[in-house]
Structure 1
Amino acid sequence: MLLDVQNLKVSFDTPDGVVEAVRGLDFTLAEGESLGIVGESGSGKSQSVLALMGLLAANARVTGSARLHADSGPIELIGARSRTLNRVRGARIAMIFQDPMTALNPHLRIATQMTEVLTRHRGLGRRAAHAAAVAMLDAVRIPDAARRIRYFPHQFSGGMRQRVMIAMSLACEPDILIADEPTTALDVTVQADILDLMAELRTRTRTALLLITHDLGVVAGQCERMLVMRRGEIVERGAIGPVFAGPSHDYTRALLAAVPRLDGPRPAPRG
């Protein structure tokens, strides 16, 4: 077992009172496994993974347990000190955010941002880090990587920026890759390329995937198991095939029914 999350709860203190975002989340993740967390906006998906990474707002309260297993023993992520989380983030757990333009520093060249990750977490020298960064950009199929690594984020398209984020996330060969709606802002053809790329790189590195999305099609193509969240709670869990074939909860059935189908009856013409 790589990650064991038990009774995770996240709430926020607001002027109108306490808002409960996540209420008792439990799941496990094994090496190389892919787990999807599905639900509508506001269901608590993103807040759950941000809690694991220690990236929530200052008014958040987090309780429960999230143990990352390592050779030296389990590391408790909930309530961990910044020093511990800084060692884990990037090196053991990496994250791809929804919008790479806000995740990347617009004032720094891609080379600077990528080499910082490699020097901090892998202890590489400046020259070796630069070479490794170029190799990672090549791996995510960015053309002319040796030249484009000197670009600023705004000089890349949305799909290329997401490829840069994937390269940065996998540069240190983390145990777990968290992808929070990684294809939301991309057109359909670019989405397919990014998802194929993630699957290919994960197969090569044996990195476990925790995929946060509202897109059931993405989950079906990328994950082995899924959790369905609603109002901060898990309403259904299981392997992809059985959940899609015979969902047990009304909410899951409603999500599946909302997916457009090409083999269904055609709507009657208007007028």
Structure 2
Amino acid sequence: MLLDVRDLQVRFDTPDGVVEAVRGLDFELAGGESLGIVGESGSGKSQSVLALLGLLAANARVSGSARLAGGDGGIELIGARRRVLERVRGARIAMIFQDPMTALNPHLRIVTQIAEVLVRHRGLRGRAARARAIEMLEAVRIPDAARRARYFPHQFSGGMRQRVMIAMALACEPEILVADEPTTALDVTVQAEILDLLAEARARTGAALVLITHDLGVVAGQCERMLVMREGEVVERGGIEGIFAAPEHDYTRALLAAVPRLDPPGGGGS
């Protein structure tokens, strides 16, 4: 098993008291597998994976276990020292954030930001790092990549910035790719292009995928298994086909009912 998460708890200390964002989350992820984590805003989806990577706010308290395969007995991510997490982030687990405009540094050229990951985790330097960065931009189908690599983030469209985020996440060929609402705020055509890129990248690298989304249509096209989260807890889990065909929880049925359909009610013709 590549990643084994047990009894993950995330709490935030606030002026109004303790907020329980994630309660008792369990899941496993095998190499090359695709897992969707689904739920509405505030259900605890993003906080779950941010907790694994040590990226939560300072007022967060995290407990439980998240063991990443490797070495003697694996690497425990929960409570790990900063230097341990820094070796994992970007190299073994990479994240595509929901808003690339805030995730990317507005003051640095794109080539510099991608090269930084390669310098840190692959030991590349100078021309070699820049050449690899341009190669990654070409891999995500950014036209005239050698010239556009010198652009700043604001010079790209939303869809192109998301491509840059994918290129950066894939630069070190991680074993796990986490995509947090990767198509939010993009038009339908661009959404499809981004999802195609993710599928191509996984096929090429063999990376496992954790896809965080509220869109069941996206999960249906990208994932093999899914967790449905509500108010910090998993209310349903299983294979995509089984849940879509016969959801057991009322909340899952409500989410499925909200998915736009092209066929008329009842499946009848006109």
What TM-score do the two structures reach when normalised by structure 1? Answer: 0.97
CA distance in 1, matches of 2:112, 2:59: 32
Residue 42 of structure 1: aligned partner: 42
1:258 Cα deviation after fit: 1.2
Does the residue aligned with 2:87 lie in a helix, a strand or coil? helix
In structure 1, the partner of 2:191 is: 191
Structure 2: unaligned runs, 5 residues or longer: none
Equivalent residue number for residue 179 of structure 2: 179
Name the structure 2 match of 1:233.
233
How far does residue 252 in structure 1 lie from its aligned partner after superposition? 0.4
Matches within 5 A, 1:205-244: 205-244=205-244
1:67-100 alpha-carbon deviations (Å, 9 max, x no partner): 0001454000000010000000000000000000
SS at 1:8 equivalent: strand
> 2:265 & 2:16 partners in 1: Cα distance?
47
Cα distance between partner residues in 2 of 1:47 and 1:264:
37
Q: CA deviation at 1:265?
A: 3.4
Alignment of 1:101-250 (within 5 A): 101-250=101-250
Aligned equivalents of 1:3, 1:77: Cα separation in 2: 10
Runs of 4+ in 1 over 4 A off after TM superposition: none
Aligned length: 266
Using the TM superposition, give the Cα deviation of residue 264 of structure 1 relative to its aligned residue in structure 2, in angstroms. Answer: 2.1
Look up the SS of the partner of 2:265 in the other structure: coil
Q: Distance in 2 between matches of 1:9 and 1:114?
A: 33
CA distance in 2, matches of 1:72, 1:165: 32
Structure 2 partner of 1:3: 3
Instruction: Give the corresponding residue for 2:31.
Output: 31
Superposed CA deviations along residues 87-126 of structure 1, whole A, max 9, x for unmatched, are 0000000000000000000000001111110011001121
Q: CA deviation at 1:144?
A: 0.5
Structure 1 segment 56-135 matched on structure 2, within 5 A: 56-135=56-135
Q: Which residue of 2 aligns with 1:269?
A: none
Equivalent-residue separation in structure 2 for 1:3 and 1:156 (angstroms): 35
Percent identity, aligned pairs only?
82
Deviation at 1:148, TM superposition (A): 0.5
* Residue identity opposite 2:263 in structure 1: D
Q: Give the partner amino acid of 1:156.
A: F
SS of 1:184 mapped into structure 2 = coil
Q: Letter of the 2:230 partner, please give it.
A: R
Deviations 1:161-210 (A, max 9, x none): 00000000000000100000000011000000000011001111000000
**Offset from partner CA, 1:117-148 (integer Å, 9 cap, x none):** 00110011211111111100000000000110
Could you tell me which amino acid in structure 2 is paired with residue 263 of structure 1?
D
Deviation at 1:158, TM superposition (A): 0.4
How far the C-alpha of 1:260 sits from its partner, in A, is: 1.8
Using the alignment, how far apart are the partners of 2:111 and 2:22 within structure 1?
Answer: 37
SS of the residue 2:119 aligns to = helix
Secondary structure of 1:58 counterpart: coil
RMSD of aligned Cα (Å): 0.9
Return the alpha-carbon distance in structure 2 between the equivalents of residues 260 and 114 of structure 1: 37
Q: Over residues 10-44 of structure 1, what are the superposed CA-to-partner deviations in whole Å (9 max), with x where a residue is unaligned?
A: 00001110000000000000110000000010000
Q: Distance in 2 between matches of 1:71 and 1:203?
A: 26
Instruction: Measure, in 2, the Cα distance between the counterparts of 1:243 and 1:191.
Output: 24
Matched, 1:16 2:30: no
